Chain A
């Protein structure tokens, strides 16, 4: 059995995973098929995520190697000005993949001087998904799709301004 000191050494993230596995174990005795479906769904999702994680790892290595804090500060930091907002919007729309995959990369950007407000603008514009637009048109129509996409882009700016106001750059990490 683990003693208190050994238990303290286990990172919080691992403790969280153990907690979830414990919940799975408990529910397994009540509803076996639910647990099997949950595991299957997670397995397939993880398989899809692995290539994305490798891609993100490569980007992070490139960022660590070639992108210095001066460049990030210039284009996405305090000195970036109006151009920084435009960059954040465009990159947010163009970069695909679930946001949680991008968090480590965004952390690197942040540590190198990216502003909170632009981080928020980037994340909000990820919701204008070019690849999914045909599906949205199919279900909700062209007019709806155009209006909601424009609204997301416009509100991303307000979103960034509010984040910049409430979360000062020093208090992010």
Chain B
């Protein structure tokens, strides 16, 4: 009886997730396919503005972190600053604007929104610290 109850409870939790997960994946993949070649066009050459753009681009992107490393490596080759690229790869994995509806439905609205805002700001701060330390050591 206890096992049945546990299975039912767990299945119900997952069932809530499936339609929104499929919807988000469809939406994000559509955006990713449409804009995959446009990342380097986003950056302006301005050190501070680019770190913000990097964090923003990373926040709306989606996929396994390795993808962000590859894109980041290409951006570096294109002359985009390390600060912007670091903010980009950090925001890619820590901020999930696309996944926000899913995070809200499971972990609560306030938690999801506050967490994503903090992570967005952190991606720029950590990127600055990492680049600064790299210059010193």
A99 with B96: CB separation less than 8 A? yes
CB of A75 within 8 Å of the partner chain: no
Q: Which of A13, A57, A129, A171 makes the CB contact (< 8 A) with B20?
A: A13
- Report the Cα distance A61→B12, complex, angstroms: 11
**CB within 8 Å of B: which A120-162 residues:** 120, 123-124, 126-127, 129, 132, 135-136, 139-140, 143-144, 147-148, 151-152, 155, 158-159, 162
Whole-angstrom distance from the CB of B33 to the nearest CB of chain A?
Answer: 5
How many contacts between A and B, using CB within 8 angstroms? Answer: 178
B residues near A19, Cβ cutoff 8 Å = 23
Q: Is A46 an interface residue (CB 8 A)?
A: yes
> Is B84 engaged at the interface, CB distance under 8 Å to the other chain?
no
Contact present for B107 and A144 (CB under 8 Å)? no
User: Count of chain B residues with Cβ under 8 Å from any Cβ of A?
Assistant: 60
Secondary structure of the B contact surface, majority rule = helix
Within 8 A of B (CB), among A1-52: 11, 13-14, 16-17, 19-21, 23-24, 27, 34-35, 37-39, 41-42, 45-46, 49
A132 touches B13 (CB 8 A): no
Residues of chain A with a CB closer than 8 A to B70's CB = 139
* Shortest CB distance B18–A (Å): 8
Quick one: which of A50-103 are within 8 Å of B by CB? 53, 56-57, 60-61, 64-65, 98-100, 103
